Amino acid sequence: MGLEVVNLTAKVGDKIVLRNVSLKVDYGAVHVIMGPNGSGKSSLAYVIMGRPIYEVLEGDILLDGESIKDLPTEERALKGIFLAQQDPPQVPGVRLSSLIITFTNKKLGAKDLTRPKDPSVIKRMYEVATKLGLPREILQREVNVGFSGGEKKRSEILQAMLFDAKIVIFDEPDSGLDIDGLRIVADYIKSLRDAGKGVMLITHYARLLNYVKPDKVTVLLDGKVAATGGPELAQLVEEKGYAYLRAKIAKGGGSTGV
């Protein structure tokens, strides 16, 4: 059960971004993914979501034991996987509230996608926005158009909360967030874990991990799994950096459990 990536090799354009990557995101657990810039972390998140520019060359992606590898992105989302993106794109012409209503309606199997099938969603989106420190008006604005960096991040969290996903992938939720925002994200991640959801958390810094203790840590280097472990691995990375890890692996430190 949970999300499983099995021997995944994928490319974008001519670039192989993932090489034989295997990992699991269990329910009720936080799996942290670390790795230097360009190591394939966001690519992993996109390939899991089925972003069309990525091509899976080998391997599989399983949700609760069933392959989702060939499903379109929207179906993966409807099955309960949500990605809070590192750099959420602007969606001119679509209000944040419409995006939320459309998705929740789709989930409820509504034919008319514009009127909320469950009217309580309106009340909830305003409540959650307030809780996240977002101005209420933001729901009537076009998605991410003119949002500040932190507002974009908070708006991703708002969507994650309202979509009630069972697997939530956070791609650097801490970048660009102020200290209050950081606490909000950390508390939300903990509440997801407590509620039995699976969390994949991509982050560069142990800062966030001081608030949320990970259950598992995986380090990617050049699109490959270079090391796996527990919270101590994140600490090691923070203290010694990736060059240390690279050198250790080159000396025969093995691919896991460094």
Ligand X SMILES: Nc1ncnc2c1ncn2[C@@H]1O[C@H](COP(=O)(O)OP(=O)(O)OP(=O)(O)O)[C@@H](O)[C@H]1O
Q: Which residues bind ligand X (CB under 6 A)?
A: 12-13, 15, 17, 35, 37-43, 53, 86
Q: How far is the CB of 35 from ligand X (least distance, A)?
A: 5
User: How far apart are CB 15 and ligand X at their closest, in Å?
Assistant: 4
What number of helices (H) and strands (E) belong to the chain?
Answer: 8, 12
Q: Measuring CA to CA, which residue among 172, 189, 101, 185 is closest to residue 139?
A: 101
Cβ pair 189, 30 in contact under 8 A: yes
CB 146 to ligand X: min, Å: 23
Beta carbon of residue 70, minimum distance to ligand X (angstroms, whole number)? 21
Q: Which amino acid is at 240?
A: K
Look at residue 17 and give the partner it binds from ligand X, Mg ion, none, a contact being a CB closer than 5 to 8 Å depending on partner kind.
Answer: ligand X
- Residue 197 interacts with, from Mg ion, ligand X, none (CB under 5-8 Å by kind): none
Run of H or E residues at 180: helix 179-194
159 binding partner (options ligand X, Mg ion, none; Cβ < 5 to 8 Å by kind): none
Contacts of 166 (CB under 8 A, 6+ apart): 27, 80, 81, 197, 198
Q: Which is nearer to ligand X, 53 or 243 (CB)?
A: 53
State the residues that interact with Mg ion by CB under 5 A: 41-42, 86
Question: Residue 204: what residue type?
Answer: H
Place of tokens 């950390």: 186
In angstroms, rounded to a whole number, what is the distance separating the alpha carbons of residues 140 and 120? 17
40 contacts which partner out of ligand X, Mg ion, none, CB within 5 to 8 A by kind? ligand X
Comparison of 138 and 169: residue with beta carbon closer to ligand X: 169
Alpha carbon distance 69, 71 (integer Å): 6
Partner residues linked to 217 by β-bridges: 32, 229
Which of 96/201 has CB closer to ligand X?
A: 201
**Nearest residue to Mg ion, by Cβ distance, number only:** 42
Minimum CB separation of residue 149 from ligand X in Å reads: 15
Q: Residue 12: which of Mg ion, ligand X, none does it interact with, CB under 5 to 8 A by kind?
A: ligand X
Neighbours of 7 (CB within 10 A): 12
Residue 16 Cβ vs ligand X, minimum distance, rounded to whole Å: 9
42 or 104: whose CB is closer to Mg ion?
Answer: 42
